[in-house]
């Protein structure tokens, strides 16, 4: 059974901290968290004080936007009703959706697609033959 979504800050046992839209799900004897578009937020400070926030995706090497987290890996979770944080998060999700849709999908019609090893072999043969 999946509970209603809510905005929350999650602190993992590893020390990582993310902000995301979260839903809890009970499966057998475990509780899992469905985490949507998790982000990390860092305060950017100047000499005068806090100038703003730097928002980045939690995992930078994936295009996935939904993650399943075992509750055993979570140190604490805090539901957020802070309108500023919710607004920052929603703006990030909208901007990243626009960026994903604006990128063309790579196809064979665009050019040759190969593995790194194949490309390396081809380039080495070209270099040796010149």
**pLDDT of 10-62, one tens digit each?**
999 999 999 999 998 888 888 899 999 999 988 888 887 767 888 999 998 88
Cross-strand pairs, 78:
9
Domain 6-105: CATH class, spelled out: mainly beta
Long-range contacts of 42-49 (CB under 8 A, 24+ apart): none
Predicted local confidence at residue 48, as pLDDT: 79
Predicted local confidence at residue 2, as pLDDT: 58
Each domain of the chain, given as residue ranges in start order, spans 6-105
Q: Is the dihedral of CA 9, 65, 35, 4 positive or negative?
A: positive
pLDDT tens digits along 84-128: 899 999 999 988 887 777 666 666 666 666 778 888 888 888 888
90: which 2 tokens? 């929603």
Predicted local confidence at residue 115, as pLDDT: 78
Predicted local confidence at residue 66, as pLDDT: 92
Is pTM beyond 0.75? Reply is no
Predicted local confidence at residue 1, as pLDDT: 53
């Amino acid at each position: 059974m999946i509970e209603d979504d809510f905005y929350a800050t999650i602190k993992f046992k590893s020390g990582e901290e993310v902000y995301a839209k979260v839903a809890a799900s009970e499966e057998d004897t475990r509780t899992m968290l469905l985490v949507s578009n998790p982000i990390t937020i860092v305060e950017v400070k100047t000499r005068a004080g806090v100038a703003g926030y730097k928002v980045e995706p939690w995992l930078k090497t994936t295009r996935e936007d939904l993650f399943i987290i075992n509750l055993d890996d979570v140190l604490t979770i805090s539901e957020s009703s802070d309108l500023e944080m919710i607004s920052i998060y929603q703006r990030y999700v909208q901007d990243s959706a626009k960026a994903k849709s604006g990128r063309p999908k790579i196809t064979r019609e665009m050019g040759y697609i190969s593995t790194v090893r194949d490309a390396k072999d081809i380039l080495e043969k070209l270099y040796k033959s010149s």
